[in-house]
Amino acid sequence: MIKRISINPNVCHGQACIKGTRIPVHQVVRMLANGDSIEELLEQYPSITRNDVLACLNYAASLAEEQVTPVEVLLNT
């Protein structure tokens, strides 16, 4: 994942991006969540690879794993 994701304060306001691009990780994950397939992403962004997309998912999973928030706290906000 480290080889494919970069965080640079001078690129996309320091958001995690696919290395060598200005494509934020959150954009890739959001597109997948909205029903786009990996193949559609690769067509829309020919500069990235399937492994880049998988690295985005891995990065997002790592972030979600770091903090545990009880479901009832989320429901009460």
Residue 11 maps to which CATH number?
Answer: 1.10.10.10
What is residue 18's predicted lDDT score, i.e. its pLDDT? 96
Residues of the chain falling short of pLDDT 50: none
CA distance 9 to 74: 30
Number of domains observed in the structure of the chain: 1
Q: Domain range holding 43?
A: 5-75
Angle, CA 35 vertex, CA 69 and CA 55 arms, to 5°: 65
Q: Identify the pLDDT of residue 1.
A: 62
What does the pLDDT read at residue 77?
A: 56
Query: How confident is the model at residue 73, as a pLDDT?
Result: 54
Percent of the chain with pLDDT over 90: 75
